[in-house]
């Protein structure tokens, strides 16, 4: 089965995001797998209006749609064709938002566009060898830009999303070394504890260039 087919199959099991969150908002950014939990786009530390944002593994586009409503110009890439279709159906009416069906390495290696913010929320940064991906991300980032990504902490027993072998689990210390090696600075790592009654924490990593 190809990578696209594998992720299309995964997409079929996903429940679409709710129409509104607990605050009554129709768009929001969620770094964790739990609804109404964890920090929002504020951790990016910069007003988003006017910035160019790329999300690697953008899924149904829900997080990126929120940044588009804040005035960012957003591109989401995802290897699964059904994800682009779903994202366009739900968010295609928003200006400044584009979705592409492409593998993250292929996109970064072939597109000339550069970005102020690169995001990956349980996305491609977790599923591609970081020694291959990070130099390509770095080359597509504008000076002063931010890379931010989240995924399960290394060693988490939860197998989803993705089979265990597909994930590139790294500890915060390993991510810090990797990011420094590939030209990123200001690395910050944090563990977001799960909500009461849930077991899986989330690791959030931020770095600047
Ligand atoms: C667990 S889902 C998360 C989706 C979305 N970021 C979210 O938070 O709902 C992982 C996504 O990354 C995509 N993906 C995985 N590996 C990828 C790669 N190498 N290039 C592009 N997309 C990839 C999958 O198709 C899937 O949509």
Mean pLDDT for back-to-back runs of 10 residues, the chain (209 residues): 94 93 97 96 96 98 98 98 97 97 98 97 97 98 98 78 74 97 98 95 97
Residue 164 is predicted with a pLDDT of 52
Residue 160 is predicted with a pLDDT of 60
User: Ligand 1 centroid vs 79 CA: distance in angstroms?
Assistant: 7
Residue 155 is predicted with a pLDDT of 79
Q: Where are the domains of the chain?
A: 3-208
Ligand 1 pocket by Cβ (under 6 Å):
7, 57-59, 63, 77-80, 83, 103-104, 121-124, 127-128, 161
User: Ligand 1 centroid vs 59 CA: distance in angstroms?
Assistant: 5
Q: Is the peptide bond before 161 cis (omega within 30 degrees of 0)?
A: yes
Spatial separation of the C-alpha atoms in residues 7 and 135, rounded to whole Å: 24
Burial class of residue 61, CB neighbours in 10 A (0-12, 13-18, 19+) = buried
User: Ligand 1 centroid vs 31 CA: distance in angstroms?
Assistant: 13
Spatial separation of the C-alpha atoms in residues 174 and 176, rounded to whole Å: 5
User: Ligand 1 centroid vs 15 CA: distance in angstroms?
Assistant: 15
Protein residue whose Cα sits closest to atom 9 of ligand 1: 59
Spatial separation of the C-alpha atoms in residues 82 and 132, rounded to whole Å: 26
Q: Which atom of ligand 1 is nearest to the CA of 162?
A: 1
Return the SS3 of 91: helix
Q: Which CATH architecture has domain 3-208?
A: 3-Layer(aba) Sandwich (3.40)
């Amino acid at each position: 089965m190809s990578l696209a087919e594998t992720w299309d199959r995964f997409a079929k099991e996903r429940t679409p995001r709710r129409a509104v969150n607990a605050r009554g908002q129709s768009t929001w950014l969620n770094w964790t797998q739990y609804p109404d939990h964890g920090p929002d786009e504020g951790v990016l530390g910069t007003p988003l209006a006017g910035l160019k944002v790329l999300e690697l593994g953008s899924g149904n586009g829900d997080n990126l749609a929120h940044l588009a409503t804040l005035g960012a110009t957003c591109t989401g890439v995802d290897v699964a064709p059904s994800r682009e279709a779903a994202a366009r159906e739900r968010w295609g009416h928003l200006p400044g938002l584009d979705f592409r069906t492409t593998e993250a390495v292929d996109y970064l290696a072939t597109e000339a566009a550069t970005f102020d913010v690169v995001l990956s929320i349980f996305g491609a940064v977790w599923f591609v060898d970081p020694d291959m991906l990070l130099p390509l991300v770095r080359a597509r980032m504008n000076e002063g830009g931010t890379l931010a990504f989240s995924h399960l902490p290394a060693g988490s027993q939860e197998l989803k999303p993705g089979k265990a072998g597909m994930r590139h689990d790294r500890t915060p210390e390993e991510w810090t070394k990797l990011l420094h090696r590939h030209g990123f600075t200001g690395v910050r790592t944090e563990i977001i504890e799960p909500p009461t009654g849930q077991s899986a924490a989330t690791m959030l990593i931020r770095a600047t260039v």
